[in-house]
Amino acid sequence: MRAARLMAVDQENEMSAPTTTGATVWLTGLPSAGKTTIAYALAERLRGEGRRVEVLDGDEIREFLSSGLGFSREDRHTNVQRIGFVAELLASHGVTVLVPVIAPYGDSREAVRKRHQREGTPYLEVHVATPVEVCSERDVKGLYAKQAAGELSGLTGVDDPYEAPADPDLRIETHRNSVQESAAEVRLLLSERGLL
């Protein structure tokens, strides 16, 4: 009897729980473009609104999910596909997934988009279009300085290619906007697409 009542309560809760549409928002751009900063600012705002949000930070993924990979084109592609798989899985369960990852190659990003399309999961591509000169001034991780000193090679956008999206869902110029303004632009895009 008690089990039947508990099942009825569970079913009632499931029916009354608000349904939320998940989505993946992929923020691509050069190192130090502001991708991760925007993602965390937006995540904080969305959580404050009661949304389920996850940030798949590129550095954390490299450490915990792709630690054996290098930075060859093939390894970068594998890394992006792994992140795309996890993002789609979370988004398909109603989570807004923010993915601040360089993902320098257009075909890798397109493969992630197609995975989402096949599964019927919303996917938005945001190009954080900060000029390389501004990124090198910010140099959050000291990568540009190391590259200039000859201590590092294969830096995306300097001596390794970065294929900027030709037709992203949104292009943000962080050198013209504050972090909060940039986060608000992404939030507006989600709202306009019916994903909030």
CB-based burial of residue 51 (10 Å sphere; 0-12 exposed, 13-18 middle, 19+ buried)? Answer: middle
146 labelled ligand-binding: no
Q: Distance between CA 79 and CA 75 in Å, rounded? A: 6
104 labelled ligand-binding: no
Those residues with Cβ within 8 angstroms of residue 32's Cβ, 6 or more apart along the chain or in another chain: 130, 135, 136, 138, 139, 140, 141, 143, 144
The DSSP element (H or E) to which 28 belongs, if any, is: strand 23-28
Q: Distance between CA 34 and CA 123 in Å, rounded? A: 20
157 labelled ligand-binding: no
34 labelled ligand-binding: yes
32 labelled ligand-binding: yes
Q: Distance between CA 32 and CA 88 in Å, rounded? A: 25
Lookup: tokens for 82: 């792994």
48 labelled ligand-binding: no
Pairing of strands 96-100, 53-55: parallel
List residues bridging with 108 in a β-sheet.
Answer: none
The candidate with the shortest Cα–Cα distance to 29, out of 186, 165, 181, 137, is 165
| Residues making up the binding site | 29-36
| Residues making up the binding site for ATP | 29-36
